[in-house]
Copies of this chain bind each other. A is one copy, B any other.
Amino acid sequence: MTEPVGRRERKKAATRQNIADTALRLFLERGYDAVGIRDVAAEADVAVTTLFSHFASKEALVFERDEDFEKRLARAVTDREPDEPIVPALRREMRAMVRHCASEGAAPTWRMIDATPALREYEESMRLRHAESLASAIAADLDLPPSSTACRTIARFVTDAHSLAREAADPDAAVDEIFRMIEAAWAVTFPTTASRPGYNRSAIAGSGTGGTPGA
C-alpha cells in the first residue's frame, strides 16, 4: 500500500512484479499447464527458490493482482455510508468485482482460470478465506461473535455470488438475482435491521447456534 522506501524494498518489489508479469504472460501464451515453474523462473531470470520466496504456489502467480479482493468485501461493510444497510453495500461492491473480472484487462486471465481445474480449485479456497473475513466484518458490525453461524452463512452466500455471477450469461443480472435471495435470507435472520449507528440488537442469533449476543 505505502510506496517502498529503500532501494532494497524497491528491488524486492520489482523482482516480485517481474516474476508475476512473466508468469502471467507465459501462462496466457502457452497455457497454464504447459508452463512449468522452472520455465517461469528461467524466463524471469530468477532462481526457483526466489520465485517461491515471493509466491506460495504456482497458482498464486495467477491471482497476484486480485489478492486484495479479500479486503474489498470486508471494507464494503466497514467503510460504507453510515445509513446504508449491509446487503446493498455488498451488492454494489460485488457488482464492481464481477465487472472487473469481465473487463478488458482481466478477461483473458479469468478465461484461463475457468478453463483450468487447478486454478478453479485455488480460487475456491480463496473464496473460503474471503468469506471468513467478511463474516468477521459483518459480525463485528452487528455485535455478534465472529463465529456466528448466521454471519458466516450470509458471507458464504455473498462469495458464492461471485463465482455464480461470473459464470452466468448476464453477470450483472445474476448479481441482482442472487442478491435478492441474499436479501431475503438476511431478512429472516436479522429482521428489521435498523440502518446502522449502533445496536440493532433485535437480531436473533439463531437457535443458540453460533454464540451469544451482547446481553
List chain B residues, Cβ under 8 A from A120: 125, 128
- Report if A13 contacts B (CB, 8 A): no
Q: Report B-chain residues with C-beta under 8 Å of the C-beta of A161.
A: 153
A117 closest partner in B (C-beta): B125
User: Which of chain B's residues have a CB closer than 8 A to the CB of A147?
Assistant: 169
As a 0/1 sequence over residues 157 to 178 of chain A, the CB contacts with chain B under 8 angstroms (1 = contact) are 1001100110011100110111
Q: Output the nearest chain B residue to A165 by Cβ-Cβ distance.
A: B149
Q: Is there contact, CB below 8 Å, between A184 and B176? A: no
How many Å from the CB of A128 to the closest CB on chain B? 6
Which chain A residues in 67-99 approach chain B with CB under 8 Å? none
A188 on the B face (CB < 8 A): yes
- Complex: A107 Cα to B182 Cα, angstroms: 32
Interface string of A174-215 (1 = CB under 8 A from B): 101110111111111100000000000000001111110000
A160-B160, A180-B189 known, 14 other contacts, Cβ within 8 Å: A120-B128, A121-B125, A149-B165, A149-B178, A153-B178, A156-B160, A157-B181, A169-B209, A169-B210, A173-B206, A174-B210, A177-B207, A181-B188, A183-B188
The contact sample of 12 A-B pairs, CB cut-off 8 A, is A120-B125, A121-B125, A124-B125, A147-B169, A153-B177, A156-B164, A168-B210, A169-B210, A170-B207, A173-B209, A174-B206, A180-B188
